[in-house]
């Protein structure tokens, strides 16, 4: 019996990296996982890994989280096919370099759309179901760049800072409905976005902890690996 038995977890950016590792880890603990991402082939690879390692069938919903209609359609489909959504892992991200002087408006908007607006849209779409259930665990992936900035990564740093503020706001708004909203900073991971760093699987126990917080547990906080 896993600690996430009978829970449904929706994971954005599930096709690679931390999203894939988390999908496998959550399913290993008994969760039904719903995989979101823009590249269907990558989602299918994750679903195959989940099946191989856990025997569970993942639900694939190809989604651009920055597109509100796609997000609404995805959440509707997830609720229809799984009956509930207990956990959101807002992991989808775009990590592109660019100083304030160099970035075009479109490049700026693209990173803000995925890294900040995406979590807003996905969370907003799921909140009514979580409120009705009086239960929800929302995990937003952040970065040290959110507070110290980083020359050359203006849009990413600003988006993550915004996400941290959004998380604290949501925590304040939703705690009375049994919904806990927290941040997780995994540090540098070896993914498509970064060639060096830790294996993403190393940090998934922390995500399990945040996904299984008890009633009245911490909310609006940030947990960092190590």
Which has the closest alpha carbon to 24: 4, 50, 43, 44? 50
Token pair, residue 223, equals 């947990």
Q: Which residues are catalytic?
A: 156
Other Cβ atoms less than 10 A from the Cβ of 123: the count is: 22
| Whether the Cβ atoms of residue 91 and residue 11 lie closer than 8 Å to each other | yes
Q: H helices within 83-189, ranges in order?
A: 105-112, 118-133, 145-148, 154-174
Token pair, residue 206, equals 């922390």
Using the structure block, give the residue that is written with the tokens 């050359």.
152
- In three-state secondary structure terms, 219 is coil
φ, ψ for residue 33, nearest 5 deg:
-105, 140
In angstroms, rounded to a whole number, what is the distance separating the alpha carbons of residues 105 and 95?
16
């Amino acid at each position: 019996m896993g600690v996430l038995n009978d829970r449904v977890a929706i994971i954005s950016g599930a096709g690679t990296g931390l999203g894939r590792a988390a999908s496998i880890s959550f399913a290993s603990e008994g969760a039904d996982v719903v995989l979101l991402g823009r590249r269907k082939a990558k989602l299918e690879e994750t679903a195959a890994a989940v099946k191989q390692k856990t025997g569970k069938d993942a639900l694939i919903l190809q989604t651009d989280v920055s597109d509100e209609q796609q997000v609404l359609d995805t959440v509707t489909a997830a609720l229809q096919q799984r009956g509930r959504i207990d956990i959101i892992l807002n992991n989808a991200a775009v990590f592109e370099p660019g100083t304030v002087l160099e970035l075009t408006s479109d490049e700026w908007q693209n990173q803000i759309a995925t890294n900040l607006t995406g979590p807003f849209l996905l969370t907003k779409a799921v909140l009514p179901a979580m409120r009705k259930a009086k239960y929800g665990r929302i995990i937003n992936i952040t970065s040290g760049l959110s507070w110290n900035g980083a020359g050359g990564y203006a849009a990413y740093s600003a988006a993550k800072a915004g996400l941290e503020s959004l998380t604290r706001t949501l925590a304040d708004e939703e705690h009375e409905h049994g919904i806990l909203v927290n941040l997780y900073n995994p540090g540098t991971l070896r993914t498509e976005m970064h060639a060096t760093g830790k294996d993403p699987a190393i940090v998934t126990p922390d995500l399990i902890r945040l996904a299984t917080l008890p009633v009245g547990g911490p909310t609006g906080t940030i947990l960092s690996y190590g």
